[in-house]
Amino acid sequence: MSIVTDLLAKPGVIAAGEYAYRGDRFSYRGALSEEHARMASIMCRATTMGANMEGRMLEVFQPRNGLSPPRGWVVHGPDYTVCVMANVFCMLDNASGSINNTINFMAQALAKASSDLI
């Protein structure tokens, strides 16, 4: 099974998808329209690129700091949380999902993902 399929089987996950770092492709499953999934993948990609730029800057500033290279990011809202690790995104319903389990699952499943953003 793909990581997107695995994520969607987890409690509280309403949608999950993958995007290409170069921005020309995305795929998704779950409760989103095609156009909204496209918008989500563009926003997630933009933030991931920004986070990686910041990580590089931090690495120059303090070499071997534990934040570099960034592996992902999480935005926690009142009802929903967006978790992004490498080029995979996931939307989680806070009431029925576990943020810890989702982050840990994504971090393990994508542990060998390249940080080259290719």
Partner 1 sequence: MATLDELMQLPGAMAAFEFRGSGELLEQRIAYPERINESTLDLLAHMCAANMSIATMQARGWEKVTHMKGFYPIQEFTLVGFDWSVVVSGLDRERFKDRGKASLPPFTGVVLANEKADYEAAFATMEKPEPAP
List of residues contacting partner 1 (CB under 8 A): 36, 39-40, 43, 47, 50-51, 54-55, 57-58, 61-62, 65-80, 82, 85, 94, 98-100, 103, 107
Contact 83, 71 (CB under 8 A): no
Closest distance to partner 1 from the beta carbon of 105 (Å): 13
Q: How far is the CB of 6 from partner 1 (least distance, A)?
A: 18
* Whether the Cβ atoms of residue 87 and residue 103 lie closer than 8 Å to each other: no
Which residue, 1 or 40, has its beta carbon nearer to partner 1?
A: 40
Q: Which is nearer to partner 1, 25 or 76 (CB)?
A: 76
Min dist CB 41 to partner 1, Å, is 12
Write down how long the chain is. Answer: 118
Q: How far apart are CA 56 and CA 11, in angstroms?
A: 35
